[in-house]
Structure 1
Amino acid sequence: MSQAALSYVHPTPDSPWGTYLSQVDRVAPYLGHLARWIETLKRPKRALIVDIPIELDNGSVAHFEGFRVQHNLSRGPGKGGVRYHPDVTLEEVMALSAWMTVKTAAVNLPYGGAKGGIRIDPKQYSRKEIERVTRRYTSEIGIIIGPQQDIPAPDVNTNGQIMAWMMDTYSMNVGGTATGVVTGKPIHLGGSLGRVKSTGRGVFVTGREAARRLGMNLEGARVAVQGFGNVGSAAAELFAQSGSKVVAVQDHTGTIVNEQGLDVAALTAWVKENGGVAGFAGSERMADEEFWDVRCDILVPAALEGVVTAERAQRITAKLVLEGANGPTVPSADDILADRGVLVVPDVICNAGGVTVSYFEWVQDFSSFFWTEEEINVRLDKIMVDALCKIWDTADKHKITLRTATFAVACERILTAREERGLYP
């Protein structure tokens, strides 16, 4: 394990931080003289752990543990989501913040990488309790966030309402309305049109470009999607509109399949009403593990990290994997997919549509001038396609995978900024 296995984190090779360190090590040969700065990428700049005590509705006091990690700020303020999940750990948040550093650089946004999280199962608490948790967490991390310091956004189990509470809490604490402190806000509080579906749209746009380069026709292509939240559902919708057949979907409630293609619009409405895909009419239930055996052309893992293991990588039938989630493929699985000729469009470019439109929102908040959804989508599509083309050229030049090429392009930008800024003092 790298010497950057910090004293407070003990990663394994396939753990989130271990996976990230492996990815950085693989890119070192392509960094030239900038490789002398590579330890910068292996150490988060700042990690904050906070206690979040709140009074529950029954009058008792509960404590939750929260995190905010700023991995690298060489290219601009930190940018990254906040997740509420019972399995959140410091190591996971560190890795997610590091992937944000790479992601923002890969699409050339003027940001560094950050991430936050609270170890909580939000389904077990009332709306008022979640509001108290959110406001106390925001107050605790308020010492390191701000429109020019670190800008949180929604992630797993968080949404526009939680961003509104975060923005309001921060604003009350600084004595003025600061809409730019978070992105992913409701539209009437300075949010951007197109933000909710932007990550899924980015998955589709990069997938469409990759399919074109592979000579794969989206008309009739079979698509399997793991995770049917904002990312998976939006990507599935766009693939269906392009004539593809979404044949299988898996989420936390189960796995459904239809060889003739699921009605994605109806499924989206069902999930909104029922909280998951299980029980959807016009589909058959399948054992969760069998999802990885589904015959498909395109696989979209859009749930949590570490789900594409070495064993599952041997079974995947798709020729194209689009990483809608952060870190879904462990390094050993990456190698297996590459050996099998399966093209993986990595998370750090594939799901960068969300942070790109978050950037648009941030810019619009500063100017108080807002764009139409059509303008948003045109700008997003151009940034995603241009970024992927640059990465693809790098992959062809060095005969490396798209993931290593993405890291090469991004890390060169990050470390150039680090070198030009120098060390202080």
Structure 2
Amino acid sequence: MTTLSLPSYIDPAHTGPWGMFLEQLDRVAPHLGPLAEWLDTLRHPKRCLVVDVPVRMDDGRIRHFEGFRVQHNLSRGPGKGGVRFHPDVTLSEVMALSAWMTVKNAAVNLPFGGAKGGVRVDPKTLSTPELERLTRRYTSEIGTLIGPDRDIPAPDVNTNEQIMAWMMDTYSINQGSTQTGVVTGKPVSMGGSLGRRDATGRGCFVVAREALKRLGRPLTGARVAIQGFGNVGNAAARIFHDAGAKIVAIQDVAGTLHHPGGIDPHALLRFLDGDPRRLTAYPEAGVIDNADFWSTDCEILLPAALEHQITADNAPRIRAKLIVEGANGPTTPQAEDILDAAGCTVLPDVLANAGGVTVSYFEWVQNASSFFWTEKDIHDRLDRILSEAFQAIWELAAARRVNLRTATYIMACSRVLQARAQRGLYP
């Protein structure tokens, strides 16, 4: 008998990130009342596109890469979500990330649906010209889906302002006119927004600050352990440090730094000089085993890397009393049960890391109006939106006697499903 080999992006058992999202929906279903009738809407992405991305390499060879763009739900507005370049990208992962964007946008009441994209590639193995050719071909392949009023990509893991500039230029060339609003996270010189680069990390800080107030814990002197020192992690580290917190551990691809007296993230960034592989050579902190990161003595743990990092295996070791999910999907449902039982408060990704998409919304609005705001305007508006969203979710959690993730899902899913019900079904 011949065994058929399924494509790498198929996950029929839903064992990956998409399965994790489905379990989160199952947990919120009993709290949705009559709207639960529509919950299957969120169990089925509206549209999944898998594309071949052929690229001519510098040596003349042609390599093929798998690309994805998923629009999970568009009931509340155009799709919104980042694009990641990573060798482990799968359709299951992109589906889950797009679904979390649906929940995230609704949780903070942005007029967007959820979408996400990715290319299965290790960008560190490509030259700059190869990376540009890959980005432009991927953009052209998904061009039938994206647009300023249809689906607006943004940076994510291993993508940045330059990638967004190439995407905007490619889309604009194909449209025959400059379309600045097709992506967010662009360079400021091309219509990007001030404050966008640090927005996700800043949003983590805002919701953590609000949670500490309700928990009666001080921010000044609070010990913080951060996993991931990319855009999100290093921005969060700098903002927490500047507010008086103490960064006691930082983990990244090269290893884990630890210093009970505190690590200055500004000094660490200067030392790294753009090369994260130098992390463990930093002379002002010690190096510990990666597994020991989870048992670091701290008040706040901030996972800002990839999904599925806090599991049933390491959750019992965590000593933090507040977890701030800077990454998407870092905590499995089983791990969260363990943390809940231990009295640890988890600020879910769909609230904690919503700063990035909130400032992306600001950028989209500024592009549409051709009127740009000051960085102070950006920070003030971001603070207000996230603080108000946190307050509403905190009160809902108390009223329903559920944790913050369930409360966030109740609020977000209710908004999405109400819109779906009111729009009705097209025959």
TM over 0.5: yes
**How far apart are residue 12 of structure 1 and its match?**
4.8
Output aligned runs, 1:127-166, within 5 Å: 127-166=128-167
Deviations 1:159-210 (A, max 9, x none): 0000000000000001000000000000010000000000000000000000
**How far apart are residue 274 of structure 1 and its match?**
2.6
Q: In the alignment, residue 365 of structure 1 is paired with which amino acid?
A: N
Q: Does 1:338 align with 2:345?
A: no
Q: Secondary structure at the match of 2:271?
A: helix
Decide whether aligned partners of structure 1 residues 137 and 86 sit closer, same or farther in structure 2, where only a CA change above 3 A counts.
Answer: same
Output aligned runs, 1:209-228, within 5 Å: 209-228=210-229
How many percent of aligned residue pairs carry the same amino acid? Answer: 61
Q: In the alignment, residue 88 of structure 1 is paired with which amino acid?
A: V
Deviations 1:20-57 (A, max 9, x none): 00111111111111110000010100000000001100
Equivalent position of 2:62 in the other structure: 61
Contact 2:224 2:249 in 1 (8 A): yes
Spell out structure 1 runs of 4+ moving beyond 6 A: none
Output aligned runs, 1:1-40, within 5 Å: 8-12=10-14, 15-40=16-41
* Farther off after superposition, 260-269 or 97-106: 260-269
Q: In the alignment, residue 98 of structure 2 is paired with which amino acid?
A: S
Instruction: Give the counterpart of 1:385 among 387, 396, 401.
Output: 387
Looking at structure 2, the residues matched to 181 and 270 of structure 1 have their Cα atoms a distance apart, in angstroms, of 36
**How far apart are residue 280 of structure 1 and its match?**
1.1
Output aligned runs, 1:15-414, within 5 Å: 15-276=16-277, 277-414=279-416
Looking at structure 2, the residues matched to 268 and 216 of structure 1 have their Cα atoms a distance apart, in angstroms, of 29
Q: Secondary structure at the match of 1:52?
A: strand
Looking at structure 2, the residues matched to 128 and 325 of structure 1 have their Cα atoms a distance apart, in angstroms, of 29
Q: In the alignment, residue 193 of structure 1 is paired with which amino acid?
A: L
Equivalent position of 1:3 in the other structure: none
Unaligned runs of 5+ in 2: 1-8
Looking at structure 2, the residues matched to 8 and 316 of structure 1 have their Cα atoms a distance apart, in angstroms, of 33
**How far apart are residue 8 of structure 1 and its match?**
4.6
Deviations 1:103-128 (A, max 9, x none): 00000000000000000000001000
Contact 2:253 2:276 in 1 (8 A): no
Contact 1:11 1:17 in 2 (8 A): no
**How far apart are residue 11 of structure 1 and its match?**
4.1
Q: Secondary structure at the match of 1:134?
A: helix
Q: Secondary structure at the match of 1:305?
A: coil
Contact 1:11 1:91 in 2 (8 A): no
Decide whether aligned partners of structure 1 residues 173 and 227 sit closer, same or farther in structure 2, where only a CA change above 3 A counts.
Answer: same
**How far apart are residue 275 of structure 1 and its match?**
2.5
Looking at structure 1, the residues matched to 272 and 76 of structure 2 have their Cα atoms a distance apart, in angstroms, of 39
Looking at structure 2, the residues matched to 293 and 101 of structure 1 have their Cα atoms a distance apart, in angstroms, of 33
Looking at structure 2, the residues matched to 286 and 256 of structure 1 have their Cα atoms a distance apart, in angstroms, of 6
Q: How many residues align?
A: 418
Looking at structure 2, the residues matched to 278 and 59 of structure 1 have their Cα atoms a distance apart, in angstroms, of 37
Unaligned runs of 5+ in 1: 1-6
**How far apart are residue 18 of structure 1 and its match?**
1.0
Equivalent position of 1:4 in the other structure: none
What is the TM-score of this pair, normalised by structure 1? 0.97
**How far apart are residue 9 of structure 1 and its match?**
3.0
Q: Secondary structure at the match of 1:129?
A: helix
What is the TM-score of this pair, normalised by structure 2? 0.97
Looking at structure 2, the residues matched to 159 and 10 of structure 1 have their Cα atoms a distance apart, in angstroms, of 32
Q: In the alignment, residue 325 of structure 1 is paired with which amino acid?
A: A
Equivalent position of 2:5 in the other structure: none
Q: In the alignment, residue 147 of structure 2 is paired with which amino acid?
A: G
**How far apart are residue 293 of structure 1 and its match?**
1.1
